[in-house]
Structure 1
Amino acid sequence: MRRTPVVLLLAALLSVGVAVPAWAAQGPSVGAELQRLQKAGELDAATADGYRKTYSSAKSTLKKLSGFRRVQLKAVLANVDATAGGGLFIPSRLRAVFLTLQRNRAWWSASPLPYAGQRVTFAPSQIVWQFYPGQGWQIQWLGTFGKANALWMVKTRDDDLRRLLDEALSLATQRAGGIAFEYLFHFDGGRPPWVSGLAQGTGLSALARGAVRLKDTKYFDAARSALGIFKVPPPAGVLDKTDAGAHYLQYSYARTLHIANGFTQALNGLHDFATLANDDEGHALFAAGEAELRVELPSFDTGAWSLYSRPGVESDLGYHKVLRDFLRGLCDRLTEDETRGAPSSATTSAPSTGGTPAGAVPAAPAPDPKLYCDTAQRFTVDLTTKPVLKLSPPSVLRAKRSGTVRFTLSKVSTVTITAVRRGAVVLRRTARLGRGNHEVGLAPAQAGPLLIAVRAVDLAGNAGAAQATIHVKPAAKKHKGV
């Protein structure tokens, strides 16, 4: 669907009621928190004054804005107020907090209206920002580290890679006994600041690769510090201990939400760091997560499509491909480990263009990659396999009486049900349906044969169909009393 300012305005109107939560409104103000940190010697006067100026400028700009622009900046200010009110102002967090406010004040003052999900950078900065309707512009850490990994693959952009990694580290927050790359906005029920195992894992890959490519161990040190969120449970971290090992959560605020693609990519990042740095703790964290993914992964494979999360949300087309690609990455990494063997000592060398750098050897025996390779291949096949429909028409159906036609569907699809009598369509219904059992109600007006046709088109465009003819009996005669 083409995105337009009108569409975005409608989205914004749904979020006009941006307000500081009651728990934060009762806490200290932004000014009071900055003064507290300055008095404690945790912020120097110039830095504190700079943050005050950014905040007051944003408040002044807000008064001049209306409509869509006002909604976005008001939301960003509300997040800053809530962070202060919740006692969450710590020096390492404030640079990202006030940079976010600064970027939004400048954008909503004069720049064009963006579309939902648009990503930009603000030259000469390398950091990737994304627009979230109702939350303004926010640092997109997954996109930022994805960009870093892309720069690493080019091989001729080392200066840009160094600048990006250095800038990212300057915006990291002290959290969970190390550093973390925090998201500073409300998202899907989570309130800021929260972290993501998916984004942090992608960051581990970028930092470890950068350490080797740029021959600078400070990036190994940073990656080692970034392991913190994988070692502690929510809300500080993303560790969910299990009987098999550990699941690393996609969102630190969603303790029970297991998302397959985020977990897999977190493991890819842990693997890259552990292998390149030959880090014992990294190896242990990867091993615990891989043991759990080996248990969990079959439950994300329906046999016809992938699940995005458990207990049963099917992936959309994009997330199905993302999970397939992340599994391919894990397959490649473990296959390379298996090929090299796993002696007790390890060395590091410059990375290759593949998933795991050439010459780097893991410290422990490599897990069997077959599960991940095979699952990725099945998910590829799913993209060209038509949905399977099984139609169960009623054995008896009478005119002018309600009945039910039941059917099963193998994977999420757009389903159209059509009823035809003597060449004329008497019923047509279309809906997006997930896998499993479904039914449609019928109340035929006349007796005679009724053709029921069901057609399903999956998210990749593959079509399946089934049909059956129901013989509708005449309406039952009414019996008169004596």
Structure 2
Amino acid sequence: MRSVVCGGLIIAALVCCPAAAARTSVTSALLGLEHSGAITSAAYAGYRATYVSAQRALGRLAGTRRTELGAVLENVRAIAAAGRFTPSRLPALFLTLERNRQWWTNQQLLGNGVRVSFPGSRLVWQHYAGQGLEIQWLGTFGQANGYYLSGHENANLRHLLDEALPLAASRAGGIAWEYLFSFGGGAPPWTSGLSQGTALQVLARAWSRFKEPAYLAAARRALGVFRAPPPQGVRVRRAAGVHFAEYTYAPGDRILNGFIQALVGLYDYTAITKDPGGLALFEAGDAEARAEVPRYDTGAWSRYDQFTESTLNYHELLTEFLAHLCERTRKGAPLIPGPAPAPAPPPTPPATTAPAATAPGATTLTATVPATTTPTATAPPAKPAAASTRPAPIAADAIYCTTARRFTADERTPPVIALLTRKVRAGTRAGVQVRLSKVSNVSLTIRQGGRVVWRTGATVEGGRPRLLWVTPNSGGTFAVTLSATDPAGNFATAQGTITVEGHA
């Protein structure tokens, strides 16, 4: 529940201010959908029972457990108050609420970022401290890709996708798998070009293997967010083409790893389905990516976005995604436009799959609670396209290949550091300036006559950063030792001297 200031006190909005008190409640939002015929009476009863059960459980909890479940309840209320209770959004929303009730009343406390699973389910859930458990859609579709690539986990692949499809929400003229919690300044529900591109990829792959019309239909509808601008979609027009944003709520962020993986997903979707619509989206993004990628190479490391250098994890992730895009584009375009698509065959009922074992090497936890079901909706089938002619090469694919090789080499290359400051005033908080090739943990040690008089350190980005030195009150010459360790553990040192000038 949002808090506001009234009469000098911070109290619950529903108690204080009439305008806030008028916000739509969860129950009234559900009733409105039932009365309009948007959901059935049975669906209304099921959702309301889930909500009431979670409220009652909250009253019996304390501490961290109460905080986590309370945050999920508040997200549900906030989405209702914002008028965003739509029939297609409710299955994922109330499944999330129920899973959190189950976990926080029966299971262990979790560290931030820990992923868990539930019996009979292949969905990946992640703990976001203070936000409860949320479906990690990137992790879920990444796991589905793992099942596909293994070649022998078809039952798990079908099981996961058959769980995921009914949890997609109508968005941007299509469907999207939404995140239902606050993150990075964005309010729920939001989605991501990164996770949506990965969904496209694995749905197309699964369709190519199983020829299940529902997978192709979902993949085609998932293109909607790539056609629509934020906040509904991720399409951001740029000078050279289109940038596909990482987050629908942050169109100004230019996060490269998510953009590149979205292009990988669009490429694979187009190459498999022969959909000209996918080709148009890929080409618009590819044109912009070729202009953007060189700007993310500092010459010694990668940038995460237009402002900051990458952590090691994000540097490795970006390198991997660039290598994947290199591998594809060096072979040519995903599709040469051909004849109009042929009609699709009639849909067939989805196959029933038995519960399968957790993926090998998984590090997630599994709850000892029963699986639950939520009311669902199905998407109409889409039309596969006819095969096209052999693709022609895409010019300049070396941008992706060369950058991936450079970033790989950066992981083995020590940073370069040098002392720039030569003179400082006595008795001041001086900034000792250094030249640094890439983001590193930098240590500054200052000695006089072999005795250490100052030591400090910080993680700083490449360029000409400064490190603090509270200089002595008397002048003299001081020996300086600098060391730098980059995110990959490469180490370098430099020496120099600084003269401290006494007071005039």
Q: Give the TM-score, by structure 2 length.
A: 0.84
**2:4: which partner in 1?**
none
**1:174: which partner in 2?**
170
**1:335: which partner in 2?**
330
Q: Secondary structure at the match of 1:309?
A: coil
Q: Is the 8 A contact 2:329 2:393 kept in 1?
A: no
Instruction: Kindly provide the CA deviation profile for residues 392-413 of structure 1, in whole angstroms up to 9, marking residues without a partner as x.
Output: 232x556556755321111111
Query: Which of 130, 135, 151 is equivalent to 1:134?
Result: 130
**2:380: which partner in 1?**
none
Query: Which of 212, 215, 218 is equivalent to 1:216?
Result: 212
**2:224: which partner in 1?**
228
Measured in 2, the distance between the counterparts of 1:273 and 1:101 equals: 32
Say if 1:472 and 1:365 are closer, same or farther in 2 by CA, change over 3 A: closer
Query: Which of 198, 207, 216 is equivalent to 1:202?
Result: 198
1:467: Cα distance to partner?
A: 1.3
Q: Secondary structure at the match of 2:170?
A: strand
Measured in 2, the distance between the counterparts of 1:402 and 1:119 equals: 45
1:336: Cα distance to partner?
A: 2.7
Say if 1:392 and 1:428 are closer, same or farther in 2 by CA, change over 3 A: same
**1:454: which partner in 2?**
482
> Which amino acid letter does the alignment assign opposite residue 137 of structure 2?
W
**Structure 2 residues without counterparts, runs of 5 or longer:** 1-9, 342-386
Say if 1:280 and 1:360 are closer, same or farther in 2 by CA, change over 3 A: closer
Say if 1:154 and 1:252 are closer, same or farther in 2 by CA, change over 3 A: same
**2:405: which partner in 1?**
377
Instruction: Kindly provide the CA deviation profile for residues 92-128 of structure 1, in whole angstroms up to 9, marking residues without a partner as x.
Output: 1000010000000011111000111111121211111
1:225: Cα distance to partner?
A: 0.4
Q: Is the 8 A contact 1:27 1:87 kept in 2?
A: no
Q: Secondary structure at the match of 1:386?
A: coil
1:54: Cα distance to partner?
A: 0.4
Instruction: Kindly provide the CA deviation profile for residues 272-294 of structure 1, in whole angstroms up to 9, marking residues without a partner as x.
Output: 11110000000000000000000
Say if 1:20 and 1:140 are closer, same or farther in 2 by CA, change over 3 A: farther
Q: Is the 8 A contact 2:147 2:156 kept in 1?
A: yes
Q: Is the 8 A contact 2:243 2:285 kept in 1?
A: yes
1:367: Cα distance to partner?
A: 4.1
2:465 is the alignment partner of 1:465: no
2:251 is the alignment partner of 1:255: yes
> Which amino acid letter does the alignment assign opposite residue 413 of structure 1?
S
> Which amino acid letter does the alignment assign opposite residue 119 of structure 1?
R
**1:55: which partner in 2?**
51
Q: Give the TM-score, by structure 1 length.
A: 0.87
CA RMSD after TM alignment:
2.3
2:300 is the alignment partner of 1:272: no
1:320: Cα distance to partner?
A: 0.3
Q: Percent identity?
A: 47
Say if 1:391 and 1:54 are closer, same or farther in 2 by CA, change over 3 A: same
Say if 1:271 and 1:398 are closer, same or farther in 2 by CA, change over 3 A: closer
Query: Which of 270, 281, 284 is equivalent to 2:280?
Result: 284
Q: Is the 8 A contact 2:430 2:469 kept in 1?
A: yes
1:203: Cα distance to partner?
A: 0.3
Measured in 2, the distance between the counterparts of 1:20 and 1:299 equals: 46
1:435: Cα distance to partner?
A: 1.1
Measured in 1, the distance between the counterparts of 2:21 and 2:256 equals: 37
Q: Is the 8 A contact 2:330 2:393 kept in 1?
A: no
**1:103: which partner in 2?**
99
Q: Secondary structure at the match of 1:187?
A: coil
Say if 1:48 and 1:472 are closer, same or farther in 2 by CA, change over 3 A: closer
**1:322: which partner in 2?**
317
Say if 1:398 and 1:84 are closer, same or farther in 2 by CA, change over 3 A: closer
Measured in 2, the distance between the counterparts of 1:96 and 1:224 equals: 20
2:237 is the alignment partner of 1:237: no
RCO (CA 8 Å, sep 6+): is it higher in 1 or 2? 2
Q: Is the 8 A contact 1:54 1:98 kept in 2?
A: yes
Measured in 2, the distance between the counterparts of 1:93 and 1:454 equals: 55
1:389: Cα distance to partner?
A: 1.2
Q: Is the 8 A contact 2:332 2:392 kept in 1?
A: no
Measured in 2, the distance between the counterparts of 1:54 and 1:176 equals: 28
Measured in 1, the distance between the counterparts of 2:428 and 2:53 equals: 69
**1:413: which partner in 2?**
440
Between 141-150 and 385-394, the greater mean CA deviation after superposition: 385-394
Q: Is the 8 A contact 1:18 1:75 kept in 2?
A: no
Q: Is the 8 A contact 1:342 1:365 kept in 2?
A: no
Structure 1 segment 73-88 matched on structure 2, within 5 A: 73-88=69-84
**1:432: which partner in 2?**
459
Q: Is the 8 A contact 2:329 2:394 kept in 1?
A: yes
Q: Is the 8 A contact 2:427 2:472 kept in 1?
A: yes
Say if 1:150 and 1:135 are closer, same or farther in 2 by CA, change over 3 A: same
Give the 4+ runs in structure 1 shifted more than 6 A. Answer: 17-24, 359-362
Measured in 2, the distance between the counterparts of 1:113 and 1:360 equals: 53
Q: Is the 8 A contact 2:270 2:335 kept in 1?
A: no
Measured in 1, the distance between the counterparts of 2:192 and 2:443 equals: 38
> Which amino acid letter does the alignment assign opposite residue 147 of structure 1?
Q
> Which amino acid letter does the alignment assign opposite residue 309 of structure 2?
E
Between 116-125 and 441-450, the greater mean CA deviation after superposition: 441-450
**2:297: which partner in 1?**
301
Q: Is the 8 A contact 1:127 1:164 kept in 2?
A: yes
Q: Is the 8 A contact 2:175 2:221 kept in 1?
A: yes
Q: Is the 8 A contact 1:20 1:81 kept in 2?
A: no
1:184: Cα distance to partner?
A: 0.4
2:69 is the alignment partner of 1:66: no
Q: How many residues align?
A: 445
Say if 1:70 and 1:20 are closer, same or farther in 2 by CA, change over 3 A: farther
Say if 1:400 and 1:139 are closer, same or farther in 2 by CA, change over 3 A: closer
> Which amino acid letter does the alignment assign opposite residue 396 of structure 2?
D
**1:392: which partner in 2?**
420
Measured in 2, the distance between the counterparts of 1:75 and 1:401 equals: 47
Instruction: Kindly provide the CA deviation profile for residues 401-459 of structure 1, in whole angstroms up to 9, marking residues without a partner as x.
Output: 67553211111111111111111101101111111112344523444431011111111
**Greater helix percent: which structure?**
1
**1:356: which partner in 2?**
none
Measured in 1, the distance between the counterparts of 2:427 and 2:119 equals: 69
